[in-house]
Structure 1
Amino acid sequence: MALISAPSVNNRFTQLFIAALLLVGIFWYIVPSSEVAKHISIPGLHSSSSPKPPPSTRPNALPPKPHHPIDHLIAEADVDLKTLLAKETHNVHDAAHAYRLRRGRQPPPHFDEWFAFAQNHSALMVEDFFDQIYTDLNPFWGVPAKQIREQANAFLHRISVRGGKTTQRTDVDERPWLNLWEDMVGSVAEWLPDVDLPINVMDESRVVVPWEEIDGYMQTELASRRVVEAAELKTEFVAAAGSLKALDDSPLLEFDPLFEGRGPYWPLAVVGCSPESPARKAYIETDFSTAPPLTGGFPEGSYEGYVSNWTLAKSPCDNAALQGLHGTFVEPISIATTKKFFPLFGGSKLPMNNEILLPPAMYWTDDPFYSGGKEHGQAWDKKRDGMIWRGAASGGRNKAENWKRFQRHRFVSMVNSTSVRTSETSGNAPQNFVLPAHNPYDLAVSPNETSFADWLSTWSNAAVVHLLCFPENPADRSHCSYTDRYFSVAHQMPMKEQYAYKYLPDIDGNSFSGRYRAFLFSTSLPIKATIYQEWHDSRLVPWRHFVPVDNTFADVYGIMEYFLGNEGMRVGGHDEVAREIAMGGKAWAEKVLRREDMQIYTFRLLLEYARLCDEERERMGWRESGVG
């Protein structure tokens, strides 16, 4: 038999290939594109050995809504980040110049050693990164240095630096957070002058001084600003060290700033707000047994419903409704607060509190519960296309008469398809949340339709792992008589397993959430709601490094539809945008939230604090070589 020539084979192959393409084209025209993606397999293009996405991952083949408000917020965030990066300095001269422009003073003594330490640890140097230090310390320019030293030395819980070594004092044998903070301070102690750091050993913030008093201190600080001439500068810490040695030799009686232990907390806290603030003018709630004060509309001050000013969104002073929406104000686990202004260091605080922020001890630990361990999650396209949240029903002392007002209870209820479906089908209003009335977020499916709960079920996996009932039944921690109808307890899930999901909400507990830094280092996307300040706030750009969500959670449905879309309603999401924020946030955290960055921040903070403790502080500073 004669063999077919090569050209004939090529021609026949071409004809078959064209015919196949025509059939595919006809099929593509007749069948919706999403069905094509499900059923067509072309040999050579889709190998059976190709990795498959997780079962819950949906193809991003549908068109998203054009001109979404979040697109605008992300574009603004890009500009903010570029503006921040443009301020980077690369040598001590430029860093000192940036300091003088922003702070109105000479840098503190040993500024060159601090800068060398930062450079040796490959830090990204932007003066704005240290703004929280001056928010916290500036009022102390209105307090005598001697008073600061004596109060700090006489406080019960403290870390002390003497001769480049650290010690601690407290009332019990072991306080793990205090040990971690001592280790953090100790890692830079060899470069530090002698200082005493009073430490807040509670979760809750404790110092809230009347706004009028703090304003007076701030006016004193502003009036005292001057860039001292080089020839006048006092460049060493001496006076404070001698005074501290005298205090060590003849210790003072314990300093008790008269902490109040009775609530409610809201009236104690709002004295730290401006007299013109909404919080100072608001009616004070005492009955928290009713549903929370929510409308389902856009949060106050938002951009078309989404957080545009993160500082404003977190501020109880500007959002008086938070007194009935957050456990901190409804009924905290404990209250020990004072109006006495004195130096007290802690890991987080409310905007109206006056603590001095250190990087939290939880961020310094290697405990996988807070750090997530060494693994930070799989590649984005290997993750489940949904949201995971696991945590205790903390936030304060939740009881039968107030649980409806707690933030974690509300969040879990809002994103739980069962609770939403119950509301939709029964006609009864939810116990602790509201669905967006009249669909202000223009969601593809109205929250008043049963298909809304169906949509939630495709992506949400949120549950409490401990109900923390009050009073608690030690024999059965999985049931709570007043919430059994609304919540079931899930097993704890290690953080490394949570990283299998793309979206990680982070919600306040009794204070800030200790998991936030680990979430930022992960390959998932953090979605953050909080009323607390932390040391790193000026380092993170919302909508570029994480997704901010309002404390009402009114915007959470719109956020999730923006990223995930709604395949049932043929609305596409923005999976690639989510991936970019997640990966960008991770890369940024690896530049500015490392353990080394916590050391650099602590080093700088304690140089400034030591200057405030010195009798010569008005003329103290760093002198550049060759100047003066």
Structure 2
Amino acid sequence: MGITSMRDSRSPREWLASLPDSRLCSRLLRYTTVAFIISIALSGIFLFRRPEGFLRDTRSRYFDYFWNQTANHPIDRLISDAHTYHEDLLKQRSFDLPTAAARYRDSRGRHPPPGFDAWFKYAKDHDAIIVESFFDRIYADTAPFWGLDPQTTAARASSWEHVVRVRNGVANGTGNTENKVPWLQLWTELVAEAAPWLPDVDMPINYMDESRLIVPWEDVTGLITKERASRAFKPIEEVVTEYSGLAKVDAVSDSAETYKPAWLGGNYWDLTRVACAPDSPSRNVTPIANIEELPVFPQDWNPDFSYEGYIRNFTAATDPCLQPHLRGMHGSFVEPLTMSTSKELIPLFGGCKLPMNNEILIPGAMYLTADPFYSGGDSHGPAWSQKTDGIVWRGVASGGRNKRENWAHFQRHRLVEMLNGTTVAQMEKNNARTMTFEMPPLEKYDFPRRREGTIGAWLRKFSDAGFVNLLCFPADNCSYVEPYLSKVGSIPMKDQYKYKFMPDVDGNSFSARFRGFLLSTSLPIKATVYSEWHDDRIVPWLHFAPMDNTFQDLYAILDYFTRDGKGDKSARFIAEEGRAWGAKVLRREDMLLYVWRLLLEFARICDEKRDMLGYIDDLKEVKTA
């Protein structure tokens, strides 16, 4: 018998009126007491133990009270807005194939690719959450290739030096990986799981940390215009439901040489800004003339993507085209460790890219490894109440080639200095800046610790951050950085999860630990200029705390989460919601589904009959009915 059927159908007033007078008071007292206890218990369970269930009700009075009616900080509003956005997103979830296909057509202006039905069946059989916008990145990345000749794209994909190749339902990795990290193997193993349902297709791999393709904005815009013009719903009787295959490509593959576009050198910022829109703030800003000068922080920094000093639009906050000051505050633009960049659009798949890069994104190979260095292993940390009330960071001084003249401009050096209590206390005492940063402006971030000059003293107890390797250049001479930073002992990831707060910033490219952080019981605080496959399925201020790439908001974010009980509950709430949601949409199955769908689309792009290809079985059934 269900719970609903066991309830008394009378109203509380009718129920009370039916009781004998002698029993009324005692029954009323017990009824009220039990109701109060249940209410408190449920509030605790919903808020702290199962936040994902708690969030299903957008009219939750407790949520509205806790983060809206008692709001005394901008982050309260941001958490509330994130919750509302996520709820609206989940209303677009597809539970059956016809709905998923219809939403595909509404969003993409084409029929789904052949094989869409097998893809959806796997998703349903594996309890995947299917929201069409979760796959927007696929269509943003592949759109320009619709403006190129399909056979040229197929030939260049096939002849690349490292390729995951699918033929006759079997995936193989090709290319020399001697003395290289095992990324090709990991990606091949993932694709192999979907290979029985995939057409013949090639996935050429970028084996470098850094992104390699930066096509000028005007060229990309022209190609995207061609893609939009090609969108159409072909009549059912004209639709082709089988891929043509790659027989023509394979016939010449043994003799074909790897296509090598013109690889460019020079200043990376100059290459980057050409890919920005002509009216963007960074387009006409030249590189820093003297990199030996200390980094200059933007004055009166109040971008449209922030709300009262805190990130509101994380996508915009990662975009260097909107932030010309990043040319002197991020190692990717100061001096990349390696650079092999082309302005030509060629098919190349990789784990991350700058927003203006033209690689096609796939889940980072590091997310596919069981290496505890990235994931923390089976341990994801103790319950929130058992955690150390502090922030921890360990890593190497990567981000590019840091040298005597430029090291102060690197993001990881800035983070470590900002979390060094002794350094910050000295700054507060002398009212001065340090090598990598300035204290955040009081008029923008006015809170007691900042006002009283006690952030440094607090960080001495609260923070444990440092480099395990300074990665100096030349390697045997760290004299330029040793007066300010020193090497510290490593802390295994599983032990880092014992802390409440975990900042996450870029290295040479994206941070491969972010997925591990999200799946932990700690709260990630994230800043990046890199895009990843999962960006459309995780929500800032609901699954992690976003941070500006200047890190000027770092102290204020930490102050909000630590100033009182409400802040601590908010931090715990985001940490637990991020972990619960990540366990649903960042699984290996979800990464497989993303790559599977991407390869269906890329195979269509490489097909001579691409404008006719499509999945239409759902439409045939409707027509027959």
Query: What is the TM-score when the length of structure 2 is the normalising length?
Result: 0.86
Tell me what 1:72 maps to: 77
User: Is residue 179 from structure 1 mapped to residue 179 from structure 2 by the alignment?
Assistant: no
Secondary structure of the structure 2 residue equivalent to 1:385: strand
User: Is residue 286 from structure 1 mapped to residue 281 from structure 2 by the alignment?
Assistant: no
Which amino acid counterpart does residue 561 of structure 1 have in structure 2? D
Per the TM alignment, residue 190 of structure 1 is displaced from its structure 2 partner at its CA by 1.2
CA deviations on 1:486-516 (whole Å, 9 max, x unpaired) are 1121111111000000111111000000000
Computing the radius of gyration over CA atoms, which structure comes out larger, 1 or 2? 1
Structure 2 Cα separation of the partners of residues 429 and 346 of structure 1: 38
Secondary structure of the structure 1 residue equivalent to 2:466: strand
Tell me what 1:44 maps to: none
Structure 1 Cα separation of the partners of residues 542 and 301 of structure 2: 22
Per the TM alignment, residue 627 of structure 1 is displaced from its structure 2 partner at its CA by 4.8
Structure 1 Cα separation of the partners of residues 461 and 560 of structure 2: 15
User: Is residue 317 from structure 1 mapped to residue 327 from structure 2 by the alignment?
Assistant: no
Per the TM alignment, residue 263 of structure 1 is displaced from its structure 2 partner at its CA by 2.7
Which amino acid counterpart does residue 137 of structure 2 have in structure 1? Q
Q: 289-298 or 524-533, which moves further after superposition?
A: 289-298
Counterparts of 1:214-229 in structure 2 under 5 Å? Answer: 214-229=220-235
CA deviations on 1:361-386 (whole Å, 9 max, x unpaired) are 00000000011101111101000111
Structure 2 Cα separation of the partners of residues 247 and 119 of structure 1: 39
Which amino acid counterpart does residue 381 of structure 1 have in structure 2? S
Structure 2 Cα separation of the partners of residues 296 and 436 of structure 1: 11
Structure 2 Cα separation of the partners of residues 296 and 555 of structure 1: 14
Indicate if the aligned counterparts of 1:295 and 1:434 stay in contact, CA closer than 8 A.
no
Indicate if the aligned counterparts of 2:270 and 2:286 stay in contact, CA closer than 8 A.
no
Tell me what 1:209 maps to: 215
| Residue number among 80, 85, 89 corresponding to 2:94 in the alignment | 89
Counterparts of 1:296-335 in structure 2 under 5 Å? Answer: 298-301=301-304, 302-335=306-339
User: Is residue 125 from structure 1 mapped to residue 130 from structure 2 by the alignment?
Assistant: yes
Structure 2 Cα separation of the partners of residues 324 and 272 of structure 1: 18
Tell me what 1:551 maps to: 549
Per the TM alignment, residue 157 of structure 1 is displaced from its structure 2 partner at its CA by 1.8
Structure 2 Cα separation of the partners of residues 115 and 286 of structure 1: 53
Counterparts of 1:594-609 in structure 2 under 5 Å? Answer: 594-609=587-602
Indicate if the aligned counterparts of 1:564 and 1:574 stay in contact, CA closer than 8 A.
yes
User: Is residue 163 from structure 1 mapped to residue 163 from structure 2 by the alignment?
Assistant: no
Secondary structure of the structure 2 residue equivalent to 1:73: helix
Tell me what 1:99 maps to: 104
User: Is residue 359 from structure 1 mapped to residue 363 from structure 2 by the alignment?
Assistant: yes
Tell me what 1:610 maps to: 603
Structure 1 Cα separation of the partners of residues 312 and 506 of structure 2: 20
| Residue number among 237, 245, 264 corresponding to 2:243 in the alignment | 237
Which amino acid counterpart does residue 455 of structure 1 have in structure 2? W
| Residue number among 141, 144, 147 corresponding to 1:142 in the alignment | 147
Tell me what 1:397 maps to: 401
Which amino acid counterpart does residue 610 of structure 2 have in structure 1? R
Tell me what 1:254 maps to: 258
Tell me what 1:21 maps to: none
Per the TM alignment, residue 295 of structure 1 is displaced from its structure 2 partner at its CA by 4.7
Structure 2 Cα separation of the partners of residues 286 and 347 of structure 1: 32
Q: 493-502 or 288-297, which moves further after superposition?
A: 288-297
Aligned pair in 2 of structure 1 residues 445, 297: CA closer, same or farther (>3 Å)?
farther
Indicate if the aligned counterparts of 2:71 and 2:77 stay in contact, CA closer than 8 A.
no
Tell me what 2:621 maps to: 626
Secondary structure of the structure 2 residue equivalent to 1:254: coil
Q: 160-169 or 324-333, which moves further after superposition?
A: 160-169
Q: CA RMSD in A?
A: 1.6
CA deviations on 1:180-203 (whole Å, 9 max, x unpaired) are 111111121111111111110000
Tell me what 2:574 maps to: 581
Counterparts of 1:424-435 in structure 2 under 5 Å? Answer: 424-435=428-439
Structure 1 Cα separation of the partners of residues 596 and 471 of structure 2: 38
Per the TM alignment, residue 121 of structure 1 is displaced from its structure 2 partner at its CA by 1.1
Per the TM alignment, residue 172 of structure 1 is displaced from its structure 2 partner at its CA by 4.0
CA deviations on 1:443-463 (whole Å, 9 max, x unpaired) are 11336x542311222322111
Structure 2 Cα separation of the partners of residues 429 and 627 of structure 1: 69
Secondary structure of the structure 1 residue equivalent to 2:322: coil
Structure 1 Cα separation of the partners of residues 203 and 446 of structure 2: 51
Which amino acid counterpart does residue 464 of structure 1 have in structure 2? F
Structure 1 Cα separation of the partners of residues 599 and 227 of structure 2: 18
Per the TM alignment, residue 98 of structure 1 is displaced from its structure 2 partner at its CA by 0.6
Structure 1 Cα separation of the partners of residues 565 and 517 of structure 2: 26
Indicate if the aligned counterparts of 1:154 and 1:251 stay in contact, CA closer than 8 A.
no
| Residue number among 587, 590, 604 corresponding to 2:583 in the alignment | 590
Which amino acid counterpart does residue 244 of structure 1 have in structure 2? V
Structure 2 Cα separation of the partners of residues 364 and 305 of structure 1: 36
Tell me what 2:14 maps to: none
Indicate if the aligned counterparts of 1:274 and 1:280 stay in contact, CA closer than 8 A.
yes
Tell me what 1:488 maps to: 486
Indicate if the aligned counterparts of 1:358 and 1:535 stay in contact, CA closer than 8 A.
yes
Indicate if the aligned counterparts of 2:214 and 2:358 stay in contact, CA closer than 8 A.
yes
Structure 1 Cα separation of the partners of residues 586 and 455 of structure 2: 38
Secondary structure of the structure 1 residue equivalent to 2:392: strand
Tell me what 1:339 maps to: 343
Structure 1 Cα separation of the partners of residues 224 and 147 of structure 2: 7
Per the TM alignment, residue 282 of structure 1 is displaced from its structure 2 partner at its CA by 1.3
Q: Any stretches of 5+ residues in structure 1 without a counterpart?
A: 1-63, 474-478, 566-570
CA deviations on 1:411-457 (whole Å, 9 max, x unpaired) are 1111211111122234542111000233421111336x542311222
Indicate if the aligned counterparts of 1:296 and 1:554 stay in contact, CA closer than 8 A.
no
Q: Any stretches of 5+ residues in structure 2 without a counterpart?
A: 1-68
Structure 2 Cα separation of the partners of residues 564 and 397 of structure 1: 35
Indicate if the aligned counterparts of 1:230 and 1:627 stay in contact, CA closer than 8 A.
no
Which amino acid counterpart does residue 109 of structure 2 have in structure 1? G
Tell me what 1:471 maps to: 474
